[in-house]
Amino acid sequence: MSHHVTFKDLPEGGEKFDTAKGAKMINAFGAAAAIGLAGSGYFFFSRTGEFAYSWLFAFFFAFTVVAGACFWILLHSASNSGWGVAIRRLWEQLANMILPLAVLGLPLLLVPTVQDSLYEWMEHHREAAHHAHEKGESVADALHHMAEGNSHLHILVDKYGYLNMWFWKFRFVFYFFALWHIASTLRRKSVLQDEDGDIKHTVKSRTFSCRWLLFYALTVTFAAVDWLMGLDYAWFSTMWGVYIFAGCAWSSMAVTILLVNWLKSIGHLKIVTEEHYHLMGKLLFAFTVFWAYIAFSQYFLIWYANITEETRFYLIRNTEGWRWVSIFIVVGHFIAPFVLLLSQPRKKNPALIGLICLWVVFMHLVDIYWNIMPERGPSLAIGLMAPGAWVGDVFALLAVVGTLGFLFLRSLGKHSLYPCRDPRLLESANVVN
């Protein structure tokens, strides 16, 4: 679209996704989901302890992408931004994958063997609950008595107000409720505007987003604390939530660019121009730098403080095979994307930035793997081909990503690929950096 776009240049009622054109990709995700779920079922029942980490890895990777899409809608609406209207519906649909993801997360919420394999503190709490039932006392008191014989449990006694079973489960449900409420509300207002074109939906979305940005920040922060930091109940980092958030925004923007590339390759989203690619590329670059800043700051502060409970996280990731993964993350997660995204022409070139985004998604996957798997033990520390070290990880990833990808692509056909009656649509179509 080199000329000035008007509503006469756009299809009336927006642009519908043709599922026939996307059938190959939809079927590919469906096949991946089927293979992944079958393999996951086998590993779940035969190697529950090891596979629990595989499932958490796949689940949390998908969570970061979905939560990142939710952030971009909130930011777009709260800042009253116009350029992203052409791609906003993709964020809306991706963010609404939070409900299917909640279903995939049920093993973490409901299966005790999965919980005990991942979270040592839960195993201690169940033991305390057993003693409490026998002696007719509270779980907190039983845990305190257990700590008299095991000094390491004093940390759990001090953290009991936050780390207890019922509150953990309540938070688990609340995280998904909060993200679902955000995603569904903003999509509903957007779709209603497709029908009546009333600007009130834009105003209400902006007001809603300004109010819920804080809840979003708290949700992502505490979800990261509960599901990942909780793998070692003695470890803590005050920068952990921001670190995970940076990865959410980074990876979801890369996924958005890949989706736009694919949709344009099958004849959709002609409204998206190289200017949109340039803007998305600049945001991708910004979060490349932001992630690196947070990651280095966290490492530096923990190294400088030299507190045993904190340094353990980096000590185990700086030994054996994990040391090379750590170095690879420094180079691949920051240096390579930083250098590649410096160029304006590369950010405007769909093919080149598409390749960069594939690398970004891969490196985000490595980063999540690096954060979770050292807690499992049997992984790179004893060889990549160790039984259960990577086969279960692959099946879990296929199951989660395949399922969400299949449902996401099927959902694209329900509404126009872009908000067709948004008052800022022409501003977006004619955006110039």
Taking residue 387's Cβ as centre, other Cβ atoms within 10 Å add up to 12
How many Cα neighbours within 13 Å face the side chain of 225? 18
So what's the pLDDT on residue 378? 46
Phi, psi at residue 196, to the nearest 5°? -115, -15
Cα–chain center distance at 399:
16
**26: CB partners within 8 A, 6+ apart:** 19, 406, 409, 410
Q: What's the pLDDT tens digit per position in 375-408?
A: 986 444 444 444 556 899 999 999 999 999 999 9
Locate the domains of the chain by residue range.
7-119+170-429
Q: Say if CB 361 and CB 300 are below 8 A apart.
A: no
Q: CA-to-CA distance for 252 and 2, rounded, in angstroms?
A: 28
Helix count and strand count (H, E) for the chain: 20, 0
Confidence check: pLDDT of 171 > 80: yes
Question: What's this model's pTM, rounded to 2 decimal places?
Answer: 0.95
Decide which of 179 and 387 is more confident: 179
Q: CA-to-CA distance for 433 and 425, rounded, in angstroms?
A: 16
If you write DSSP's letter for every residue of 104-150 in order, what string do you get? HTHHHHH-HHHHHHH-HHHHHHHHHHHHHHHHT--HHHHHHHHHTT-
So what's the pLDDT on residue 2? 54
Over pLDDT 70: what percentage of the chain? 96
So what's the pLDDT on residue 63? 98
